[in-house]
Amino acid sequence: MDQQAWSDHGAAGAFGLEGGMYYAQDFRLTKESYLILTLAQISISGGVIFGWQALLPVLYEKGVYAESCDGGKSDPTYPCLAMRSKLALVFNIACAANAIGALVAGVMMDVCGTRIARMVAGLIVCAGAMMIA
């Protein structure tokens, strides 16, 4: 740590705490680390859209929208057309929300910056995962 920064600005100046905001003055990520972080973020947050077909058998087994079928889970045509239609509607709404979210995220990145936009997106993904759980 630079002794001059400590003496001129105190601890706040030495650690980048001026104005109540923390920022790392000498912290820089390489292009490769940005790529790795971006791929990790996509892998974590893109699961429902990209993994919908793998999620469907679990939803059928749990009986999500089973009340739409005439005999419930004991219906011989289970999963019935009404149940599959409701699950398809859920997927379509999720795809539309994904596209609208991309538009909002793009505007937010332009206005607030990448770091803030990624933090907000991470909070939204965490909230959505908690709702699913």
Q: Tens of pLDDT along 68-125? A: 888 878 877 788 889 999 999 999 998 888 889 889 988 998 999 888 888 888 898 8
What is the per-residue pLDDT across 53-81, written as a single tens digit (0 to 9) for each? 888 899 888 888 888 888 878 877 788 88
Name the 3-class secondary structure at 58: helix
pLDDT > 50? residue 8: no
Specify the pTM: 0.59
The CA dihedral of 36, 41, 44, 50, to the nearest 10 degrees, is -100
Q: Which residue in 89, 68, 90, 86 sits closest to 77, CA to CA?
A: 68
pLDDT > 70? residue 6: no
Residues 6+ apart with CB under 8 A from 77: 69
